[in-house]
Amino acid sequence: MIISLLFVQYHASQKIYSTVKTVYISLTEEIIEANSLASLPGGYQKRRVFTLGIKIQRNMAHRKKVLLKLTILGDSGVGKTSLMNQYVNQKFSNQYKATIGADFLTKEFVFDDKLVTLQIWDTAGQERFQSLGVAFYRGADACILVYDITNPKSFQKLDSWRDEFLVQAAPRDPDTFPFLVLGNKVDRETERKVSLERAQEWCQSKSLGQPLNHFETSAKESTSVEVAFRTIASIALQKGQEEDIYVPETIDLSRARTKKESSSCC
């Protein structure tokens, strides 16, 4: 929406000075378009920017802060680290370097008026490092399973990766725990060995109701990377809200005891 602010009827020494100025303000996210302030007097321009800047900071401060832990699993070389770097830093490197143990990056975004910090854990895919990654599974709010569409073995290993995660992370409700499946390296379509239909069938077989969410991605070309991470974060947040509904009420025993003592007769 564009609002025209008319500055009129300025009274000084019984004289009326009329000045008309038009200020364009984008109400979405309260962002001021740069060219709208250029026509304003310098002093007013600075005050207006400062005032709205403070308002935005206050709104951010009042947003509920949420921390989500996301674990990425899959065989070595499927592109887990590249996917994480592409999503967080919008960068891709052709140089392969195996992850030792685990590494993590964080990214913040606003979702449903919440300031979400997504903590993404990239675990080693090599078998000799898998025992080190177990400690990083615990406390995860969601999990991404990655395979390489040009490597059938990496797809076949999804079962063992999923089962290992459920055993080690021990989520409250394994049947509804948020999983996302990514078939990476679609930029190498001519080398494809795992069909989309086959992957979708697997996702369907691992869910009691709605199939696991599945995307085909390219960390190299950033294909569907952003939407994939946003999707799993959204699912995890909704899952957390549902679980909050069923948190039992607590009773403050010390307060109840004090109330009882104060009401007793001497």
pLDDT for res 10 = 34
Residues 6+ away with beta carbon under 8 Å from 220: 82, 92, 94, 185, 187
Whether the predicted model's global pTM rises above the 0.75 cut:
no
Task: Identify the DSSP state of 18.
Answer: -
Domain co-membership, 232 together with 132 = yes
d(CA 136, CA 27): 42
For 49-77, the pLDDT digits (tens) are: 555 555 555 555 566 889 999 999 999 89
Indicate whether 113 belongs to any domain: yes
- Contact in structure between 52 and 32 (CB atoms under 8 Å): yes
CA atoms within 13 A on the CB side of 233: 25
For 69-106, the pLDDT digits (tens) are: 999 999 989 999 999 999 999 998 776 565 555 678 99
Neighbours of 39 (CB within 10 A): 11
- Tokens representing 13 are 């020494």
Q: Which CATH number goes with the domain that contains 97?
A: 3.40.50.300
Q: What is the mean pLDDT of the chain?
A: 74
The position carrying tokens 């990377």 is 225
Domain co-membership, 115 together with 18 = no
d(CA 262, CA 252): 16
Q: Which of 19, 39, 62 is the last residue of a domain?
A: 62
Q: Which domain holds residue 46?
A: 10-62
Domain co-membership, 53 together with 38 = yes
Domain co-membership, 34 together with 93 = no
pLDDT for res 126 = 52
Domain co-membership, 30 together with 162 = no
Amino acid at 29: E
Domain co-membership, 73 together with 120 = yes
Domain count, the chain: 2
What mean pLDDT do residues 166-179 have?
A: 91
